[in-house]
Amino acid sequence: MRTKTESPPFTRAELNSLSNDIRLACMRISRRVRFESDREMAPHQFSVLCRLEGTPRTNSELAEIERVSAPSMKRTTAALVDGGYVARADDPTDGRQVILSLTPEGQRALRRIRRHRDAWMISRLDRLTDDERDLLRRAASVLAKVASE
């Protein structure tokens, strides 16, 4: 039974419109935070650094996590190794594999880029009212739920 405080169900057209609006807003925010806040490295390279934080991995594992081809991941990690962000080590259990891990410079880069991204987002949140920020706080958990399913 529906109470007075519940909203009527969304029509298919309203769900389509909401879906489009949320998707576009998330894409625009993601793009802007990536490209306006970190000039140091490409977004896909930063993503790999995040995947290596605290957990050394192989190129195959990274390719699977990032949903890219193995050759593409090898190019990405080679650039990160050349830049001094990632170190290679032989896998002690499988001589065919290489274990990749963050270097101290890779860890510093992660912290630096995250600070820039946070600063960019905070500058936008500062422009909002307290009510708008509270609405976003509540929406963040709902969006996280949508993204995890």
pLDDT single digits (tens) 76-134: 999 999 999 999 999 888 878 899 999 999 999 999 999 988 998 999 999 999 999 99
Q: Domain range holding 100? A: 12-148
pTM: 0.76
Q: Is residue 4 part of a domain?
A: no
Instruction: Give the 3-state secondary structure of the chain.
Output: CCCCCCCCCCCHHHHHHHHHHHHHHHHHHHHHHHHHHCCCCCHHHHHHHHHHCCCCECHHHHHHHHCCCHHHHHHHHHHHHHCCCEEEEECCCCCCCEEEEECHHHHHHHHHHHHHHHHHHHHHHCCCCHHHHHHHHHHHHHHHHHHHC
Q: Is 92 among the domain residues?
A: yes
Answer whether residue 2 is part of any domain: no
Residue 1 lies in a domain: no
The CATH number assigned to the domain holding 22 equals 1.10.10.10
Domains in the chain: how many in total?
A: 1
**What pLDDT sits at residue 95?**
79
pLDDT in tens, 42-86: 889 999 999 999 999 999 999 999 999 999 999 999 999 999 999
Domain assignment of residue 7, yes or no: no
Residue 133 lies in a domain: yes
The pLDDT of residue 38 is 64
